[in-house]
Structure formats: C-alpha cells, structure tokens
C-alpha cells in the first residue's frame, strides 16, 4: 500500500547550495519546503494536508500557512527573489508551485515541456524563469538568498497575498 503523504513529502535533493520548486498542476496550494527559503510571515492559520488519495488516511494536521522568499539565479547572471504567499509550510517536503494559485495571481506558467512543444518557463513582468525537467515534472532551481540579496535584489510575488481558499 502506498502512503500518499510519504510520496508527497519525498524530498528531492539537488546539491548543498540549491533546491527545486516543482511546478504542480494538480496541487491546489503552494508548499514551501526545504532549505532554500526564508519564511518572512506566518498567518496564524493552519490547514490539514491530504495527499492525492484521501482514502489512504494520510493527513498532516495543523500545517501552518505563511509566506517565504527564495532566490533564483537567471541565465544572464542576475539574481532575483521570488515570494510565495499563502503557502503551506512543511520543511520536510518538496517545494511546490501550484499552477492554479500562481495563475490566479496573474503569473504566467508555461508548464509544457520543450520536448512536447512548450516553452517551459514561469513568466513574470519582464522576466522568464527557465524550468528544468526532473523526471516527468518541471521545476525551478532555487536557493536561499543572502542577507545582502534580501536588501538589494528585486522581489517578485508568484502568488497573491490575500487569504487563499482553493475550494
């Protein structure tokens, strides 16, 4: 029997400096997990997280909701910061960008792999963030920002900051 929560929570390990935020068209809410984030706010609200199979009984209870900032190094050498608002915070799980939640905030998510005729990027105002293929999924390579970067780099919000209710 497959434990859906364990499957959801399996961490992908890139290297000591970087992590990944997986693009997930099936997730109803973003998740912030791993070492590549600085949590900058908590809402005081919590949710119960259920994997893709509600019948399995795998539930993680009272998961906090908040916002975090991560860094991404662009192909041209620049670094920008990405903020994800209204996300579940589970340090032991993969970071997920909910395509639906990002699109609700007017973020462009081209989650069709290049080999399938897509562009594979997340589009922000004037910047395209390239996605990498990891198995059968797409991801952004992210890392924890330095204190200097937090002060000097441009920050883009991938999701809205109003309370998120996906139902």
What digits encode the pLDDT tens for the residues 79-110?
999 999 999 999 889 999 999 999 999 999 99
94/56: higher pLDDT: 94
Q: Answer whether 29's CB lies under 8 Å from 86's CB.
A: yes
Q: What is the pLDDT of residue 112?
A: 87
pLDDT band at 167; cut points 50, 70, 90:
confident
How far apart are the two ends of the chain, measured CA to CA in Å?
Answer: 28
Q: What percent of the chain has pLDDT over 90?
A: 69
pLDDT at 125: 86
Q: Is the pLDDT of residue 57 over 70?
A: no
Strand bridging mode 79-89 / 31-32: parallel
Please report the pLDDT score of residue 52 as a whole number: 63
Q: Provide the CA 150 distance to its chain's centre, in angstroms.
A: 18
**Predicted TM-score of the model (pTM):** 0.87
Q: What is the pLDDT of residue 59?
A: 87
What is the per-residue pLDDT for 54?
Answer: 67
**pLDDT at residue 38 in the model:** 98
Residue 135 — left, alpha, or beta (φ > 0 → left; ψ -120 to 50 → alpha)? left
Residue-level pLDDT at 8: 42
Run of H or E residues at 67: strand 59-73
Q: Mean per-residue pLDDT for 103-131?
A: 90
Mean pLDDT of 17-29: 93
Q: Which residues pair with 87 in a beta bridge?
A: 66
Report whether 3 contacts 57 (CB < 8 A). no
């Amino acid at each position: 029997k497959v434990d859906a929560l364990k499957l959801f929570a399996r961490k992908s390990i890139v290297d000591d400096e970087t992590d990944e935020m997986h693009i997930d068209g099936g997730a109803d809410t973003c998740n912030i997990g791993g070492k590549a984030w600085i949590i900058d706010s908590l809402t005081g609200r919590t949710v119960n997280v259920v994997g893709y199979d509600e019948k399995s009984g795998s539930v993680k209870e009272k998961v906090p909701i908040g916002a975090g900032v991560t860094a991404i190094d662009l192909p041209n050498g620049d670094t920008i910061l990405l903020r994800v608002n209204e996300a579940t915070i589970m340090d032991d799980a993969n970071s997920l960008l909910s395509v639906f939640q990002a699109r609700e905030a007017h973020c462009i998510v081209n989650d069709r792999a290049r080999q399938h005729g897509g562009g594979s990027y997340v589009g922000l105002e004037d910047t395209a963030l390239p996605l990498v293929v990891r198995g059968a999924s797409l991801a952004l390579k992210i890392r924890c920002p330095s204190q200097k970067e937090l002060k000097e780099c441009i920050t883009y919000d991938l999701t809205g900051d109003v309370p998120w209710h996906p139902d």
